[in-house]
Amino acid sequence: MITFYPGPSKLDERLPQWFQEGVENGYISANHRSDFFMQQYGEICDLLKEVFHVPDEYSIYFVSSATECWEIIGQSFNQLSFAHLYNGAFGRKWASTNSALKNHVKEYSYDFKDIPNAAPIKDADAICLTHNETSNGTKLPDNFIQEMRDGNPQSLIFVDATSSMGGVMLPWLAADIWYASLQKCFGLPAGMALLICSPEAIDRANNGPHYNQIANLQRNYELRQTTHTPNTLNIFFLWRMLQDHQGLQLISEKIRTRAWHLYNGFKEFQNMEVLIKDKEIRSDTVLSISILPELLDSLFEFMDAKEIVLGKGYSELKSGTFRIANFPAIKRREYDSLFHNIREWQDKL
Ligand SMILES: *Cc1c(COP(=O)(O)O)cnc(C)c1O
């Protein structure tokens, strides 16, 4: 089976080997207040700083999902006013989660084919952005978060990077919170997310009652422990992955080059086209391809028989698009096979 689903996505091929190692050495069953665990947590932080270039002063927490990050942020900053800028389903869900918590939320939605505009956002205590909108295959332009920062020096900036962290370089200092779950670009199993916070965000977080408040995550982080028994399996996998990592700079260049090849590759097919034409906003890690709606089922059936899983279109794009992940765990030969099979499907039409 080959999967191009943009999450849960193809798992890193080294997982079976890591799993065996983690079980045999007792790492995965280590208690989360043990010396081993604290040392492992510390090394993961050091590696994220070294390999991903996370700034030294940022704190790194292990939580359970990106959805949980929406709640953590809403609860930890409920004294602040929020501006949510989004163009798709995940950004919208974040805003509605935050509204459901009865926070002061202003929404700025825009069309996914447009370039986002930072100008209307003024005087928000916190600005919420989605770095890569997985639902429609768009990203924020490269300098956008920094421009938002420069235009709003008093505001905190929070970024959902669920389908880009681990695949492309991120402008860490331009934002105060970054988070991502691991079942997308990291190629790890579902059920864990990283939440990465600047000292400013930690200073301005309140001291509310929830176990997963940022204040509480930070108190545990200082001991390199967690608030509860965490996903020790995924923490171990993350540690192993980072130990053998080639460096995000290099991976990022490979992902961007491969995105270019994939986008170009789709030009050869008559019945489909790249949904997002503008290079400034088309995603490097999740490609949306539009197809004649009457051909969609036929394509999926054909691929199903070949044991190839494509990503379904999401939400309002369900009927005329499909999605292809461009995540580091997916191999070039798998894309070759995808294109080969689309050609075969097209020839049979
Ligand atoms: C998948 C996704 C989420 C939700 O992730 P969970 O781990 O299921 O909570 C949130 N935001 C974006 C951009 C996503 O792609």
Instruction: Write the pLDDT tens digit of every residue in 199-210.
Output: 999 999 999 999
Verdict on whether the full-model pTM lies above 0.95? yes
- C-alpha 204/C-alpha 104 separation (Å) is 16
What ligand 1 atom has the least distance to the C-alpha of 163?
15
Nearest CA residue ID for atom 7, ligand 1: 65
What ligand 1 atom has the least distance to the C-alpha of 190?
7
The reply to whether ligand 1 has any atom less than 6 angstroms from the CB of 66 is: yes
Nearest CA residue ID for atom 10, ligand 1: 66
Instruction: Write the pLDDT tens digit of every residue in 124-146.
Output: 999 999 999 999 999 999 999 99
User: Residue 26 has what pLDDT?
Assistant: 95
Q: Say how many Å lie between the CA of residue 104 and the centre of ligand 1.
A: 23
The reply to whether ligand 1 has any atom less than 6 angstroms from the CB of 283 is: no
User: Residue 97 has what pLDDT?
Assistant: 98
What ligand 1 atom has the least distance to the C-alpha of 161?
13
* pLDDT exceeds 90 at position 315: no
Instruction: Write the pLDDT tens digit of every residue in 66-83.
Output: 999 999 999 999 999 999
Does an H or E element contain 150, and which? helix 144-151
Residue appearing with tokens 């825009």: 110
Instruction: Write the pLDDT tens digit of every residue in 213-252.
Output: 999 999 999 999 999 999 999 999 999 999 999 999 999 9
Nearest CA residue ID for atom 14, ligand 1: 162
Give 183's contacts (C-beta < 8 A, 6+ positions apart): 7, 8, 9, 189, 190, 191
User: Residue 196 has what pLDDT?
Assistant: 99
Cα torsion through 286, 290, 295, 300, rounded to 10 = 0
Average confidence (pLDDT) over 333-343: 98
The mean predicted confidence, pLDDT, of the chain is: 97
CB-side neighbour CA atoms (13 Å) of 58: 26
Q: Which of 48, 43, 65, 6 is nearest to 329 (CA)?
A: 6
Is residue 318 very low, low, confident or very high in pLDDT (cuts 50, 70, 90)?
confident
* pLDDT exceeds 90 at position 160: yes
Percent over 70 (pLDDT), the chain: 100
What ligand 1 atom has the least distance to the C-alpha of 64?
7
The reply to whether ligand 1 has any atom less than 6 angstroms from the CB of 160 is: yes
User: Residue 148 has what pLDDT?
Assistant: 98
Whether 160 contacts 131, CB under 8 Å: yes
Other residues' Cβ atoms within 10 Å of the Cβ of residue 36: 13
Other residues' Cβ atoms within 10 Å of the Cβ of residue 108: 19
- C-alpha 129/C-alpha 84 separation (Å) is 6
- Asked if residue 16 has a cis previous peptide bond (ω within 30° of 0), the answer is no
Q: Say how many Å lie between the CA of residue 72 and the centre of ligand 1.
A: 14
The reply to whether ligand 1 has any atom less than 6 angstroms from the CB of 288 is: no
Is residue 317 very low, low, confident or very high in pLDDT (cuts 50, 70, 90)?
confident
Average confidence (pLDDT) over 6-17: 97
Give 131's contacts (C-beta < 8 A, 6+ positions apart): 139, 140, 145, 159, 160, 161, 164, 165, 170
The reply to whether ligand 1 has any atom less than 6 angstroms from the CB of 134 is: yes
Residue appearing with tokens 């050091």: 46
Q: Say how many Å lie between the CA of residue 67 and the centre of ligand 1.
A: 6
User: Residue 161 has what pLDDT?
Assistant: 98
Nearest CA residue ID for atom 13, ligand 1: 162
User: Among 15-29, 35-49, 190-204, 307-321, which stretch is predicted with the lowest mean pLDDT?
Assistant: 307-321
Q: Say how many Å lie between the CA of residue 184 and the centre of ligand 1.
A: 8
